[in-house]
Homo-oligomer: A and B are copies of this chain.
Amino acid sequence: MKLQGPKGTRDFYPDDQARRRYIHDAWRRVSVRHGFDEVDGPIYETLDLYKVKSGDGIVSELFSFRRANGTTDYAIRPEFTPTLARMVAARANALPRPIKWFALPNMCRAERHQRGRLREFDQWNVDLLGLDTPLADAEVIAVACDLLAELGVTPAMVQCRISHREVVRQILAALGVADDKMQDAFTLLDAKGKMTPEQFTDKAVALGLGKEQVARFDAMCGKTYAVGDVDALRDAAGIDDDLADLRALDATLAGFGLADWCAYDLGIVRGLAYYTGTVFELHVTVSDERALGGGGRYDKLIELFGGPAMSGVGFGMGDVVLANLLEDQGLLPEHLAPTPDAFVLAASDLGATHLPGLVATLRRAGLHTRMSYKQTRNLGKLLKDAEKARARFAVLLDDTAAEGQAQVKDLATGEQSPCAITDLAQQLRL
């Protein structure tokens, strides 16, 4: 009998988990220093919750289930946003605003697994609600860029591509798309990468655009505009609006020092229909990876989930593409597991009787302490184990343990000196 884990899921052996923890710790540390509070919700929700935002179409992507005698369908969470919206809606009046939340949920999607896409993954979620200014959009973009910088990623590797639903809407309207075709136009733009230019043109013409307009729009979307260049974007777009919202975002992004990380790209759509303003994606520019993550403003979401009118902006970043990027760019430190402060070994039978007590004392003092489980008293072999464990110090217990002495060997320098057992915790902590 050989049992295997489900396809598209991962077993995290110590090295795998240390790498996963490296990413989680960075997500949490950066979120906290940007003033976001951690939240979480259940691993499964009612199936209905996932239909609110995404309709019935999402059901086939979910792992759903119903209890033997039950009447309610549930699903393992495929995303965190519906849970967040439910939680905000339930306490909308009691929560101090702005609401700045982050979460690190594991989640499941019933997709074919392939590079960058698994059936279970972790996703960093950051959301800022109840603040109706571009400062909120900029803060959310800032925490994403700061996370990348924290992990050694540079703007040469990843760019945050920003668009704005309202600006694109105005452009499309100016080009001749009627209001009632607008949603279809966004859907088409989002699918552009998956069709030939001819297919795209045919479908665009069906929405009321002339071929010339399609070409103009295409050219516009093929260009990016730097932070500080909103005038150039407006000129290219050929619209009258002064783009006050985008200008305010632009100024704050510059103020946050994010000009190197960000660029405007009107080709960014983000498929989800619920975005209402700024949308952005984190694009890997040095390889063929999928987007690292993305998000945008969703000012109708909380109402959709039964809460009051409340503005919001947020994004998600999965762990799979991020780990691929870090690995490809050589940004994962070789040794990520916690290293022991002390490795205690018995160099004599008499010393061995003092081993459990010393190990317990060091651990209770907060020191990461490992010990040899071998019966041998061969010092060379025992020290090799201490080195293999990457311990800072080896602590040798020999017959002098009876007089309260241990030998401490610094495994980096090789220096060895005696130390009173009662002083050891204090000494090793320095």
What copy number does this chain have within its complex? Answer: 2
A29, A106, A108, A360 interface centre (most CB from chain B within 10 Å) = A360
Q: How far is the CA of A32 from the CA of B368 in the complex (A)?
A: 6
Q: Is the CB of B138 within 8 A of A356?
A: yes
A110, A257, A356 interface centre (most CB from chain B within 10 Å) = A356
Q: How far is the CA of A215 from the CA of B399 in the complex (A)?
A: 50
Contact pick for A20, options B5, B34, B40, B370, CB 8 Å:
B40
A87 at the binding interface (Cβ < 8 Å): yes
A418 at the binding interface (Cβ < 8 Å): no
A98 at the binding interface (Cβ < 8 Å): yes
Number of interface residues of A (CB under 8 A): 87
Q: Is the CB of A13 within 8 A of B98?
A: no
Contact pick for A42, options B11, B35, B368, CB 8 Å:
B11
A9 at the binding interface (Cβ < 8 Å): yes
Known A3-B89, A5-B45, A76-B44; contact A37-B14, beta-carbon cutoff 8 A: yes
Tell me how far the C-beta of A346 lies from the nearest C-beta in chain B, rounded to whole angstroms. Answer: 12
Q: How far is the CA of A20 from the CA of B258 in the complex (A)?
A: 34
Complex contacts, A305 vs chain B, CB 8 Å = 1, 3
Tell me how far the C-beta of A429 lies from the nearest C-beta in chain B, rounded to whole angstroms. Answer: 12
Q: Is the CB of B149 within 8 A of A364?
A: yes
Q: How far is the CA of A399 from the CA of B366 in the complex (A)?
A: 48
Q: Is the CB of A42 within 8 A of B5?
A: yes
Complex contacts, A373 vs chain B, CB 8 Å = 98, 131, 135
Q: Is the CB of A257 within 8 A of B42?
A: no
A340 at the binding interface (Cβ < 8 Å): yes
Name A residues whose Cβ lies closer than 8 Å to a Cβ of B. 1-6, 9-14, 17-18, 20-21, 29, 32-35, 37-46, 48-49, 52, 60, 63-65, 67-68, 72, 74, 76, 83, 86-87, 89-91, 98, 101, 106, 108, 110, 120, 131, 135, 138, 142, 146, 149, 252, 255-258, 305-306, 337-338, 340, 353, 355-357, 359-361, 363-364, 366-371, 373
